[in-house]
Structure 1
Amino acid sequence: MRVVMLFDLPAMREAIQAAVPDADILTLPPPGHMASMRAVDAVLATPGASQALGQLLARHPEIRWIHVLGTGIDDYPLELLHGRQVTCSRGATTVPIAEWVMAMILAQAKNLPFSWVTQPPPHWCMAQLDTLEGKTLGILGFGNIGQAIARRALGFDMKVRVAMRTYRPAGMAGVESVTDIDELITTADHLVLALPATTLTEGLMSADRLSLMKRGSHLINVSRGTLVDTRALREHLDSGQIARASLDVANPEPLPAGHWLYQHPQVQLSPHISWNSPLSQQRMSEAFIDNLLRFAAGAELNGVIDTQAGY
């Protein structure tokens, strides 16, 4: 069985080889050599490798399975993925992303890092800080990440409300599932975007929807930058309608130098790193290795992506 990795990460390649000694693991050769490669069974891809993946699939239509290390396929050539099995390392980075979200919520409530002092303040013992107790957390999307966020928010005695594109009960004690996204947005003190990026979610947080947010509320995005109308976001931050935007994603990525998101005082921006933890790469590798063993045995794969739906 031949597997092509679209990136060079020796430690991951060695772990895969050790787990599946019979597999022929190759790092993608220069494009000119693609046609001369023998038949390829599977591809291990990573975000940012869409061009290489497109070239490889065009040269090797026999490829039956593609595994994506992350969870999103919005930047991949979907027309080339149709008819093939596509999987992802779903759940591998759920914990660090959920922790990042809670860190942003706490930072907003406790006015961090702005409440730290480096010289004597005007007043000791007094500050205008908020609490999470009794506050409403709205979550758009209730997959693995949304559920992990909800569990942690419940531990802080927050009121948790969720909305999904297709209504279903949340199935988690203490979590309210609602049918109307707009109604959820109007009630949230902190609003988390945890939906996959698809043609249906692009521009979800339009100028109209941003205007529905509670005055002084907090927008958190760990999905994709394409879900938010960035120009409208700036207007709502400037007006005070939205007090803070905590963004781990942007549109485009990488965000060019000089972009207003870098400098706006009400924006907390990180460079798509919320998924990182000491165990993240190991868990993503383990998800692929488990699927590689299943693929070799002809068994059902985990983390299957619906290429028609885009997630």
Structure 2
Amino acid sequence: MRLALQFEMPGLLENIRRIAPELEVVVLPPDQPVTLEKPVDALLASPLGGSQVEELLRQSPALDWVHVFGTGVDDYPLKQLSAQRVSCSKGATAVPIAEWVMAVILAQSKRLPGSWIDQPPEQWYMAELDSLAGKTLGLVGFGSIGQAVARRALAFDMEVLATVRRFRPSPVEGVTLLEHVDEVIERADHLVLALPATAASEGLMDAERLRRMKPGSHLVNISRAGLVDQEALRAQLDNGPLARASLDVVAPEPLPAGHWLYTHPKVRLSPHISWSSPQSYQRVFEVFYANLRRWLDGEPLEGLIDTDAGY
């Protein structure tokens, strides 16, 4: 059995050899033509390594399994892999992302960092801070990240609404699932985008939906930038109902110097880091290692992707 890697990281080869000493491992040079001495049976893929897929399939027509490193697969050419089993590390970074979401929601509610002081204020004891209790959190997307956010929001006594593509009973007690995304958008004080990026979700938050958000509401995007029309967002921040946009994803990435998102007074921007924690890489790789054992033992894989749906 042969496994190809589209990238190499410290400890990766050692761990693979510990799990499967009989497995032959081939490291593909990044951004270069694929030249295999023998076909491979599986691939640990980089989300940005799609340019090698067509040639890899031509040289390995019996390729059985592809695991895409990370949790997002929207930059990988899934349509070319319809005959293969494709998995990713779904849910591995749900906890740090959910913590980041709650941090920006609390920052908006408690006027942070604006309410910190470094000199005597005009008055002590008085402020106009908000509370999360009784406020409505809207979740567009209710996978592992959305559910992790919901559990934390419920602990703050928030009302939690979520929408899913295929309606089902809520897997988190206390969360109300709604069939129509517009109802969630219109009712949310804090609206969190937690959908995978697909053709169906592209441009979800267009000018019309942004206009329909609740006055004084807060948009949080930890999904992909393509879900939001950025120019329409700018218009709604300037003249519409939005009080704040907290964005961990933007287009393009990296964002060039001088872009309006850096300096807009109603935007809080971070450089696609909501996933980060001391355990993030370990958890992402643990999903791959567990699937590697399953694949070698002929067991069902976890984190499988529907290559037609794109998630």
Give me the TM-score of the superposition, normalised by structure 2.
Answer: 0.95
The Cα shift of 1:33 comes to 6.4
The whole-number CA distance in structure 1 between the counterparts of 2:6 and 2:263 is 34
Q: Specify the alignment match of 1:284 in structure 2.
A: 284
2:6–2:30 Cα contact (<8 Å) kept: no
Q: Specify the alignment match of 1:249 in structure 2.
A: 249
The Cα shift of 1:138 comes to 0.3
Q: Specify the alignment match of 2:203 in structure 1.
A: 203
Letter in 1 for 2:236: H
The whole-number CA distance in structure 1 between the counterparts of 2:170 and 2:192 is 16
Q: Specify the alignment match of 1:65 in structure 2.
A: 65
Letter in 1 for 2:25: I
Coordinate RMSD, CA, aligned = 1.6
CA offsets per residue over residues 85-129 of structure 1, 9 Å max, x none?
100111111111111110111011011111112222212221111
Letter in 2 for 1:102: M
The whole-number CA distance in structure 2 between the counterparts of 1:195 and 1:37 is 40
2:135 aligned with 1:122? no
1:243–1:266 Cα contact (<8 Å) kept: yes
CA 1:71–1:118: 2 relative to 1, 3 Å: same
CA 1:124–1:231: 2 relative to 1, 3 Å: same
Equivalent residues in 2 for 1:1-311, closer than 5 Å? 1-29=1-29, 34-311=34-311
Letter in 2 for 1:14: E
The whole-number CA distance in structure 1 between the counterparts of 2:246 and 2:303 is 28
The whole-number CA distance in structure 2 between the counterparts of 1:291 and 1:264 is 44
Where in structure 2 are there 5+ consecutive unaligned residues? Answer: none
Identity %: 57
CA offsets per residue over residues 178-211 of structure 1, 9 Å max, x none?
1121111111000000111110000000100001
CA offsets per residue over residues 32-58 of structure 1, 9 Å max, x none?
662243211111123322224454334
2:31–2:49 Cα contact (<8 Å) kept: no
Letter in 2 for 1:282: Q
CA offsets per residue over residues 199-258 of structure 1, 9 Å max, x none?
000000010000110111000011100000110000011125111111111122222222
The Cα shift of 1:73 comes to 1.6
The whole-number CA distance in structure 1 between the counterparts of 2:162 and 2:31 is 45
CA 1:289–1:258: 2 relative to 1, 3 Å: same
Letter in 2 for 1:201: S
Letter in 2 for 1:295: W
Secondary structure at the counterpart of residue 173 of structure 1: coil
CA 1:48–1:231: 2 relative to 1, 3 Å: same
Where in structure 1 are there 5+ consecutive unaligned residues? Answer: none
The whole-number CA distance in structure 2 between the counterparts of 1:269 and 1:58 is 42
CA 1:117–1:41: 2 relative to 1, 3 Å: same
The Cα shift of 1:176 comes to 0.7
The whole-number CA distance in structure 2 between the counterparts of 1:126 and 1:30 is 58
